Chain A
Amino acid sequence: MRPEREHWACALAAADADAVAALADRIRRRATIAPLAPPREGLMLMQMRESVTGSLFHLGEIPMARVHLRLTAPEGAAEGGAALMSGDLALVTRLAILDAALSAELPEAPEIEALIAEGMAVQAEIRAQRALALDRTRVDFQLLSEDDA
């Protein structure tokens, strides 16, 4: 089943980078791609809310890239976009192209869906490894009063 669109770019970023690049470049060669806003890459201040008083603070700067474009192919047209914590504008451009191509249901849609599935599997594996690492840091406290009881 195809995941929600907001997860496509993140999943594709976790898939095999060479396969993503090859597919996006193949689509780009046969389609017309026009930017709808200037592609941006740079540093962005990441704002977080601390959990004690709930006040906002700046955690630090993160690399960020974003692309918004319109893809037009003989089979259809659609807008595509991607924003990623990355300084790799070429990668984010390719993700935006795949986003538009899947949205337009181009013939390459099954290949894009396969890459998304691959990326989501990689993400799930990373999440599982992190959960395991976090679980190893778990500490059980016993209160003296409980021992006494």
Chain B
Amino acid sequence: MSVLELPRLWRPETHQALFRRILDVAARPGQIADLSDLLDDRPAALAALATFCDNTQTLADPTGALSDADLAFLDVRTAPVEQAGFILARGADAPRFTPRLGTLDAPEGGALIVVMVDSLTDGPPLTLTGPGIAAQTVLSPGGLVPAWLDARAGWCADFPMGVDLVLADQTRLAVLPRTAKIKGA
């Protein structure tokens, strides 16, 4: 009887396993990581934030999707959406903000946006090409309004500046790094 037992999603070993899987699909845009065995019924978007965030990072939750308890466990500072390093958004709502895009000197300052979608396989197909993709691959996110793809195209127009997207349904996620070229929808 010494330290407290944490819920599974907040244990360091869970974060390590999540990080490995997210890293794998970030290197292979369009591939889908199934996180269901690590989530204990919590959403994959929250798991992604739990993996990425700590008290040195900033997070914006413009739709208020996170509970106070989740924010306490994320142990992350909140910031306006235009200044945050990480953003949680809904795919069903068109983005009405301009995230951090980084600078030519420090493109890593561009935001990472976790977009909650209904599904990663039941929507209109998007054809992806670019680094990490042998020829081309298809991702079919459901519940992602086309305005997101238009906005992303604008944000990523001046590579290496731009944003990286993580699309997450309830149990799975896929990564669209700024290097990925998207056609379709």
Binding site for B on A (CB under 8 A): 25, 28-29, 33-40, 67-69, 89-90, 93
- The answer, yes or no, to whether B134 is at the interface (CB within 8 Å) is no
Contact in complex: B73, A38 (CB < 8 Å): yes
Binding site for A on B (CB under 8 A): 1-4, 6, 10, 69, 72-73, 75
User: Among the interface residues B2, B10, B72, B73, which one has the most CB atoms of the partner chain A within 10 A?
Assistant: B2
State the main secondary structure of chain A at its contact with B: mixed
Contact in complex: B6, A38 (CB < 8 Å): yes
Contact in complex: A90, B3 (CB < 8 Å): yes
State the main secondary structure of chain B at its contact with A: loop
Contact in complex: A37, B1 (CB < 8 Å): no
Chain B, residue nearest A41 (CB): B3
Contact in complex: A68, B72 (CB < 8 Å): yes
Pick the residue among B2, B73, B75 that contacts A93 (CB under 8 A).
B2
Chain A, residue nearest B5 (CB): A35
A35 to B11, CA, bound (A): 12
Contact in complex: A93, B3 (CB < 8 Å): yes
Contact in complex: B4, A39 (CB < 8 Å): yes
Contact in complex: A25, B4 (CB < 8 Å): no
A38 to B73, CA, bound (A): 6
